[in-house]
Amino acid sequence: MSTLPNPAKSESPDQRELARRILAGDPAATRYLLETIKPDVEAFLFHQCWNGQNRSLSLAREVIDDLFSECFGGFARNTGRKPLLASYRGGAKLATWLKTAARHRLITRMTAKRERDRVEPTKTDTLDDLLEGQSDDHAVDPTMIYARESGRPAAAEDDPESERNVVKMALREAIEALEESDPDVLVLIELHFLHGVQQNVLARSWKVQPSTITRQIQRALERLRVDTMNAIRRSQWRLGISFELTYTVEDFLEADCLAMISSRGASASSYSKNNSAR
């Protein structure tokens, strides 16, 4: 099929068209899904869950089989639900979207298995026993598990940006810790990055050298980074699975961190407009 997109370079409109054609039963599109995208998703999930035990790989294989069955509405006949691909909106590449869905399903099953192990630890349980009665209807994403264990508010279930939300919650935790232990540095960060106050102006107010302000801010940012990454690692350890951040750490430092610090109060820009005559 000459018009099918290159998965490495494809764009959303083409991907939506691909999903539409798969749902419509187009043989070429279906072959593309099974022969090109499915192996890619399989490789991703195997890599995600590999811990040296074939058992985990067999669990991943089951997840993949179920997932691609759902794509074609394999479960729809039994549950009345629409095919999975019908909910694809083209926001990300189809392969990426399926990888996220696969990872969430794997986490759901591994979490269920772990909880079963804790409640009913028997040596005779087979994998089928462990998975018995588990449904994909209640997909658990890392955000929900992190929220439950940290006692923090959870993001919406089925949130397509659940990884991002895990990072946000970890970052929020780090900011709160910094505020508790070193509030003056948090004030410096907010004044400099969000209100645009120059570091030499802050230094005059603080009665220190500008280099002192620079060092304090750099150390605090590094601490936020380390604390955030450690919180993410702790959540991954609890999940028993590592997941790949789909956006760069620089992104969250530039966007989420500043947005989160600024959201602790009212918009400074609106204040500036209202007080420009001061």
**Between 149 and 184, CB nearer to another protein:** 184
Calpha distance 131→127 (Å, rounded): 6
By the rule CB under 8 A, 152 interacts with another protein: no
Position 131 contacts another protein (CB under 8 A): no
Closest to another protein by CB, 69 vs 236, is: 236
Residues of this chain, 199-228, that bind another protein according to CB under 8 A: 201-202, 204-207, 218, 221-222, 225
Contacts for 236 with CB less than 8 Å, ≥ 6 apart: 142, 242, 243
229 binds another protein (CB under 8 A): yes
- Hey, which residues between 232 and 271 contact another protein (CB under 8 A)? 232-233, 236, 242-245, 248-250, 253-260, 262-269, 271
Cβ atoms within 10 Å, residue 197? 14
Q: How far is CA 51 from CA 36, 98, 142, 241, 270, in A?
A: 25, 22, 19, 9, 51
Q: Measured from the CB atom, is 87 or 272 closer to another protein? A: 272
Q: Contact residues for another protein (CB under 8 A)?
A: 47-48, 168, 172, 175-176, 179, 183-184, 186-187, 190-191, 193-198, 201-202, 204-207, 218, 221-222, 225, 229, 232-233, 236, 242-245, 248-250, 253-260, 262-269, 271-272, 275, 278
